[in-house]
Amino acid sequence: MTLDAMHWVWDQSQSKGNARIAMLYVADQVRTPACEVRVGQRELMRALNTPSKDTAEKALKAAILLGELQVLESGTGRRPALYKLPKAVGFVRQSVRSAPESGAQEIATAPESGAQAADQGLRSAPDSGAQGFRSAPVSGRSAPESGAPPHSPKELATPEAGKPDAFQICQPLITAMTQAGITVSWSMQPKDWLDIADIVERAGINAMVAFARDTKATARQPVRYATFFLRGGWKGLPPVAAQLPAQSQNTQSGRPPYCGDPDCDEISRLRQREDDNGLRSLYPCPDCHPSRKDSAA
């Protein structure tokens, strides 16, 4: 069994039309068991393929009236609103119990894949035990934009004794990316999980989030997959150098202390802003960028 907000919407939601699309998009961004996620209005408008803010708001209101969507925090400034799918919390979907333990051929009960029942697939499997499910969807691969990771820790390489596996190593990175407002799909092959875990341990989460934020801000098209960052530059990030404590380092370099604002990048001390056309640009943080010191002098 696997936790899956997307499948709760497919199987249980009573929403229709634009409200259902909005619910599916919100569920696609869920990364925590609490089924909470921040979603911006512009993101939702892109998901609905509409230039109308009114259309997006009506879709959200319809889902809220059904009791399937809650607004925990309203959006303020550049900080998106915080939503929750209360009925999806704790939802689990059954997978074929006779599937091999490795999970490589797990058959999910996703909608629109019921052309052949799971038990029929079992009866049609050859006596030699070879898998006869090639025509059935493989979990995670039939929905490439699903926000739920398609591979469980069992599918990744067996970790050494006492060492976390790749899936566990990547969890702090997923949390940091989401908190930074970078919501992408983590549907990946096991090898991609292993590569990202190696980069987390070599380059560090802060460098990876900073790179992703800068890349997303300058990308011509919306970034929807974590593998875009993996192949676009994460692999080339340098190892984390031994550093002095932040306070000592700031004292020696003469840089003002980091302000701690969520919109400010701790490494570059740059912030983002968005104009009326939806274009984003970087500018020095007025609180902790080194230029603040120069201008003050």
Residue 108 in domain = no
End residue of a domain, out of 208, 236, 264: 236
Residue 118 in domain = no
Residue 125 in domain = no
Residue 102 in domain = no
Higher pLDDT, 20 or 267: 20
Higher pLDDT, 128 or 77: 77
Claim to verify: residue 6 and residue 84 sit in the same structural domain = yes
Q: State residue 164's pLDDT score.
A: 64
Q: Please tell me the total count of domains within the chain.
A: 3
Q: State residue 173's pLDDT score.
A: 92
Its domain, for residue 39, covers 2-88
The CATH code of the domain that includes 32 is 1.10.10.10
Residue 110 in domain = no
17 vs 37: CA distance, rounded Å: 21
Residue 227 in domain = yes
99 vs 105: CA distance, rounded Å: 6
Look at residues 143, 136, 99, 140 and name the one whose alpha carbon lies nearest to residue 116.
Answer: 136
Claim to verify: residue 71 and residue 20 sit in the same structural domain = yes
Residue 218 in domain = yes
Q: Is 77 exposed, middle or buried (0-12, 13-18, 19+ CB in 10 A)?
A: exposed
Dump pLDDT digits (tens) for 126-141. Answer: 444 444 434 444 444 4
pLDDT at 262 over 60: yes
Claim to verify: residue 258 and residue 289 sit in the same structural domain = yes
The structure's pTM equals 0.34
End residue of a domain, out of 88, 105, 123: 88
Residue 193 in domain = yes
Claim to verify: residue 184 and residue 251 sit in the same structural domain = no
Residue 150, both tokens: 């398609």
